Amino acid sequence: MSLEKRPLTLTINDKPVGPIDVPVGMPMIDFLHGYLNLTGTHFGCGQGVCHACTVMELRPDGSATESRTCISDAHFFNGKSIRTIEGHAQRDANGEVRELTPVQQAFIDHFSFQCGYCTAGFVAGATVFIDQLKRKPVKRAELETAIEASLDDHICRCTGYVRYYEAVKSVALATPGCVVD
Ligand code: FES
Ligand code: FES
């Protein structure tokens, strides 16, 4: 990593961040952990394989995509908007969680995770998937295949994935406009 620093400005969880001088080449996950104390994004493989470190990148057109923060430099996100796991649930003025998102609640209701190390990445991936379904619904008969294709890259060492996929299916079926007959 270079010791050269450059300013970084972005939006994280709907709040403006920066400009902050950040070392050129610093991975985004290190910036989140070390500069902002946003430690809910987990470091797994560090090589772009496991997707534990995934956050949501919010595009100007309102759509969202997944980004792995272990293989992307912090400056890659300059001028962009992201959502980390800390920014999903609704919180009160004291920062206490008031209401989980449907994806988060479904993961709990379905006992989808065990150690939880992969869960922040799954929340990001599943939320992006549901957002995509709202824009481009799938047929009911194709939903399970679509879920598996969407979350296939997320690795979980504890579970058999079935409960994660069942949880996402329940959210898709309960969210108007995601599934067509
Ligand atoms: S820690 Fe980023 S993909 Fe594994
Ligand atoms: S719940 Fe432990 S790695 Fe997924």
Domain spanning 5-87 has what CATH number? 3.10.20.30
> So where are the chain's domains?
5-87, 95-180
Overall CATH class of domain 95-180 = mainly alpha
**Domains 5-87 and 95-180 alike in fold:** no
What is the distance between the alpha carbons of residues 175 and 25, in angstroms, rounded to a whole number?
Answer: 40
> Which-ligand-closest: CA of 115?
2
> Which-ligand-closest: CA of 32?
1
- Please report the pLDDT score of residue 3 as a whole number: 82
- Please report the pLDDT score of residue 94 as a whole number: 92
For the chain (length 181 residues), average pLDDT per consecutive 10? Answer: 88 97 98 98 98 98 97 98 98 94 98 98 98 97 98 95 98 97 88
- Please report the pLDDT score of residue 160 as a whole number: 87
Cα torsion 68, 144, 156, 124 to 10°: value is 30
pTM: 0.96
Instruction: For residue 67, give both structure tokens.
Output: 């980004």
Kindly give the distance from the C-alpha atom of residue 114 to the centroid of ligand 2, in angstroms, as a whole number. Answer: 5
Does ligand 1 have an atom closer than 6 angstroms to the CB of 44? yes
